[in-house]
Amino acid sequence: MIELQNLEKRYTNPATGQAFYAVKDLSIVFPDGEITALLGPSGCGKTTTLRMINRLIEPTGGRMLIDGQDVMAQKPEMLRRHIGYVIQQIGLFPHLSVAQNVATVPDLLGQNKAQTAKRVTELLGLVGLEPGQFAGKYPHELSGGQAQRVGVARALAADPPVLLMDEPFGALDPLARDKVQDAFLEIQQRLKKTIVLVTHDIDEALRMGDKVALLREGELAQFGTPNDLVRRP
Ligand code: ADP
Ligand code: ADP
């Protein structure tokens, strides 16, 4: 379970010298084994929130706990092993094959070739890429949807209990997005990761989220199940 308590990030606007809150007094719980969609328009603080959880950005106030442990007290290396991160531009290494891209995760680098190959095969199967067909391909030979699946496989390689996903389907055309979203929901049914999914797309939030947290100007405006949200006037 991830718990944010009165989390805040304050920036100073360089043009005016005025301080403003990108995230303000944000208290929210992301339950274990569920997808929580962090929804809101551009600039409402979604990415800042997500990146504070894995400490790519340091908060200016508040607390973050994962399974009761203070995130700020943990070594970033330990934290990153615990937390997978998937972004829109997944940034596959262009000169590495699909299998090599998936195997760049520190946990796999320490293993022998046979173990690594087995794990990579497992992961590609999991994200719906036939290992025999895709392991040896290079990123430029993949469709957008396929590349995004490789990114998900890589994020899952260390088997982190927590997955942070920032607009993971945002760069895909609608057809590919549907397919990858379905595939991902199917994976999640088996893996039951604790997922925070950032999106500005309300349909995606309602479809993917067990819970939806609506942010407005850095603050939590609504929180509930998709049903709770659509029922409100
Ligand atoms: P979202 O992900 O919802 O689009 P962000 O979290 O990226 O929003 O940004 C929230 C607000 O904080 C925006 O007003 C943005 O311009 C501002 N912001 C983000 N990063 C910085 C930064 N490094 N310095 C100053 N302002 C920032
Ligand atoms: P997805 O739904 O996974 O994104 P697409 O509908 O985009 O897949 O692609 C359909 C097929 O076209 C795929 O089987 C893929 O192998 C092939 N394809 C797409 N882009 C490329 C490319 N740049 N090079 C080679 N094959 C491609």
Give 72: exposed, middle or buried? Use CB within 10 Å, 0-12, 13-18, 19+. middle
Closest CA to 165 of 215, 135, 131, 205: 205
pLDDT at position 7: 98
Handedness of CA 77, 79, 83, 88 (dihedral sign): negative
Residue nearest to atom 22 of ligand 1 (CA): 11
Range 196-228 burial, b when 16+ CB lie within 10 A, else e: bbbbbebebbbbbbebbbbbeebbbeebeebee
Residues linked to residue 83 through DSSP beta bridges, in sequence order: 162
Q: Can you tell me which residue has the tokens 């990415």?
A: 47
Looking at residue 200, what is its pLDDT?
A: 94
Residue 108: predicted pLDDT: 63
| Phi/psi of residue 155, nearest 5 degrees | -65, -25
CA 215 to ligand 1: nearest atom: 3
For the chain, helix (H) and strand (E) counts, in that order, are 10, 10
Quick one: which ligand is closest to 147's CA? 2
- Side-chain-side CA neighbours of residue 130 (13 Å): 2
Of ligand 2's listed atoms, the one at least distance from the Cα of 144 is: 4
Residue 55 identity (one-letter amino acid): R
Answer whether 209 contacts ligand 1 (Cβ < 6 A): no
Instruction: Name the strands in the sheet holding 69-70, side by side, starting at the edge strand that comes first in the sequence.
Output: 19-30, 2-12, 61-66, 69-70
What does the pLDDT read at residue 109?
A: 64
User: Tens of pLDDT along the chain (233 residues)?
Assistant: 999 999 999 999 889 999 999 999 999 999 999 999 999 999 999 999 999 999 999 999 999 999 898 999 888 878 888 898 888 877 899 999 999 999 887 666 667 888 888 989 999 988 889 999 999 999 999 988 899 889 989 988 888 999 999 998 888 888 888 888 998 899 899 999 999 999 999 999 999 999 999 999 999 999 999 999 887 65
Query: What is the ipTM score, two decimals?
Result: 0.70
Q: 47 by DSSP, 3-state: which?
A: helix
- Whether 163 contacts 2, CB under 8 Å: no
What is the residue with the minimal CA distance to atom 5 of ligand 2? 143
> The whole model's pTM is what?
0.84
